[in-house]
Amino acid sequence: MQEKMLVKICGLTNLDDARAALDLGADFLGFILYEKSARYIPWTRLRQIQDKLPASARSVGIFVNAPRKKVLKIAEECGLYAIQIHGRELPEEFAAVPLPVWRAVFFRHGRPDPFPETWEAERYLIDASAEGNYGGTGIVADWTKAAEFCRKWPAMLAGGLTVENIAAAIRRVRPLGVDVASGVEQEPGQKNHRKMELFIRLAKDFSNEREGK
């Protein structure tokens, strides 16, 4: 049984923030390859950042309504650890891909959308639903529904997490890990290193709490 709380710092756009996230203990780095996002990073820029990160860095590319061929090409070019599918993609389009698939899930009318059993996903990412937006809104997800979901499927919790609410969120939901973007920023795409440090420490402290340290 996993004891360590995993942390993903998402919406990274520059090398300094990516290196800082790793140094502070982040387990995954998230890069948004969706042009309409305020935290969008072109894949050519991501590849330049990847070339300067240690080989052990686990970078996740976030894609919204991008075709399979494009997603896999970018994943290969940038050396991504996993791809996170965040839009209205069909599950069959991303079946049997050669790297881990993470699938974003939203709660609409009290039900997970998409339904997780329809996807071949290594894990799911629970985010808050906001009409016309695909994450990074700062809106808090439904923790009650998220807790129910995490009892059935491997999932990371996102949606409005901050240094102020991370401890309560973890205790309530008991996810596999947590994902933060806007909650550790000074502006979209620019991270506040002090907030990153505190967020990661608070999340990791929960691991120690479970182990009785």
Prior bond of 114 cis (ω within 30°): yes
Q: Which of 211, 213, 193, 205 is nearest to 9 (CA)?
A: 193
| Nearest Cα to Cα of residue 181 among 152, 202, 157, 212 | 157
78 is catalytic: no
CA distance 147 to 151: 6
Can you tell me the distance from the alpha carbon of 170 to that of 175, in angstroms, rounded to the nearest whole number? 7
- Residue of 10, 17, 150, 179 with catalytic role: 10
Annotation says 127 is catalytic: yes
Q: Which of 17, 27, 127, 179 is catalytic?
A: 127
Picking from 21, 31, 34, the residue whose alpha carbon sits closest to that of residue 198 is 21
Active site residues: 10, 127
